[in-house]
Structure 1
Amino acid sequence: MQFRLEKRREPSKAMLYATPVVAVLLTMVVGAIIFSLIGFDGIGAVREIFFTPLTNAYKWQDLGVKAAPLIIIGVGLSIAYRANVWNIGAEGQYVMGGLAATWIALLTYGMSGWWILPLMVVAGIAGGALYASIPALLRTRLNVNEILTSLMLTYVSVQLIYYLVRAPWKDPMGMGFPQTRRFSADALLPNIFPGTIVHAGVPIAIVVALVAWFVMSRSVFGYQMKVVGAAPHAARYGGFSENKTIWLALLVSGALAGLAGALEVSGPFQRMVPGFPTNYGFTAIIVAFLGRLNPLGVIFGGIVIAITFVGGEVAQTSIGLSNAATGVFQAMMLFFLLAGDILVRYRIRRVVPQTAEARS
């Protein structure tokens, strides 16, 4: 007995946008079963991870802080993936954006002025874009797959952090800890609500998503990304250059990842430390697909994944769940989402092999 996938008619938008919701619900159900089977309170795990961050008002500010970098990076990745350009190295571009912003903060240490923080943000954007230009150059000039190059460059950026915070950028007053100086006051991202940890990066993330949605749906740039990704041969006849699209997709996604890095290092971290790589760049891949590669949907995806981050921290203290449980739930969510995508676009059909007599 054999089976094959047969393409369905083009699924409706309602079905496509319902799939992420179903994926989240299936993750809760299957997650509860799995953790119950291995000896944990499975229902309690789902409650603490998915519902406590929403019902506990004190956790809302944590959700905003966690969601902001995921949304910004996820928007950039959604643009690249629309163009069929697979940037897997957003984590490295996020790190390089943070390092570029740190460089400006250390150069201006002890100075004051409103211009310091904007300069750090510009440096972060440039750092992320420049790092993304390496896989863009290799793809367009040597036809090297950007998945491999962007991913491997992530590990280079992490090693660069380790070197800088242990040698040239090490805080002389840091009691031997591998970290930079704490940034000056004018190099820190301000909180938008006094007495909370909600910094200015949260509204910036929403603005980035709204601007990206407008650009992708109302501009030639957005049309170019979609056409080249969906039908490269037709795009070529329409006058769109595939190489130019690759450059634009990688530079934009790298720039937004660098922006997220600059906001994170000047906001929650307030200095560069070895723990700065937080896997936001990798997790944002799930965010982009949860959001259906739509910048507005990415806001939803970023909030959902932020809930699992905050809920995972709650579950560690309340029911003793391991920190790795957060990754398990996120991985299941991506699995169910991709499986749902296949099932709404294809049907499984049984193929009965013909006998020799039937063929004759």
Structure 2
Amino acid sequence: AVFQPAQQSGRALSGSVSRSSPRGHLADPRSANGKEKRPNGQVLMVLSMANNCSATSFDMELCAEKLKSLGVQVAEDQWRRLIQDAVLKPEVRRYMFYNSRAFQIAIAVVFYVSLWTNIYSTVQLCSFGRYWEASVLVTLAAVAVTVVVILVIDCRQRKINVNTDVRLAAVNEIFIKHGLIVGITDALDGPHNILQLWFVHFSPERCLQSLAAHVTDLQRMGESGLQRSLDQLCVVMEAVVRPDLGTEEEALREESPLLSSGVNPNKEPVTCNELLHLVPKGPPEVMAQQLLVIFSGCYVRLLVTGRLPRAVAGGHLEHSGVPCLCQFIKTTALNTHWSWFMGR
């Protein structure tokens, strides 16, 4: 493993990433003794791994060792299982690959070539299609449309993602009690896609108080605006339909064959989609804490990639030009004019 000092918040770590084996970066060791106060938003550690077909994983032993050196006393088996369930499942890794920068660049190139070919073929059917000016116009049109598509994809990447950011909520629920929040990003190392797990220092006390006071004010002003904002924070869950015992026995009697064949095929359970609200109604402190946990993964991802919006006065991120976590939630999740939630 190779260790390098981590930079401050708002910028990603510089330097190339090794694609041979997972590695971690450790922050300045002078802040690990607990005597020097760490600022909110400081990157403490980064774990990297190649997102390929092999069964690679983050170096959890290295992570546990460095967390202990940072003074974070958390049971390893607890957070290790949550991280594996959140981002290391094959279906999640495939989703992250298809939403990675490398795949988006490839899609943009294919889209441009396909669009240019189709427009040029159509223009050739017209009388002015034989002039060289037509090729220039076709190229400009294809470039303009491709740029618009790239900007739309980039804007979508700035929103909270239920398949990655929200899956880290269980991990952040544990780490936020110890002054840490976790997020995941992807980076390019030549033709390889690298997943990076970021550990950022964050003390939630001031943000929790400010966000709880904001939720209280919204409840006092009216439940409709707050409810519309919270209704956007939901996921669709697949649940198994369990009929009543009497109805089930009656259905089995009706569906039983007249002549017994001796074969009882296993029937698949009947399922239905249910809408699960990520922030249910409750006391303002409980709702504020749930919002902090849910948006921590998205906040870290935007923080380390420099995609956070401009900061406003009165934030809890010292000596930084980006908003703190509670400001980010107020201007995104609790703003009825903007929707920052990206569903599946």
Fold agreement, TM-score > 0.5: no
Normalized per residue, the structure richer in helix is 1
TM-score by length of 2: 0.24
Bigger Rg over Cα:
2
Q: Which has the higher contact order (CA 8 A, sep 6+)?
A: 1
Normalized per residue, the structure richer in strand is 2
TM-score by length of 1: 0.23
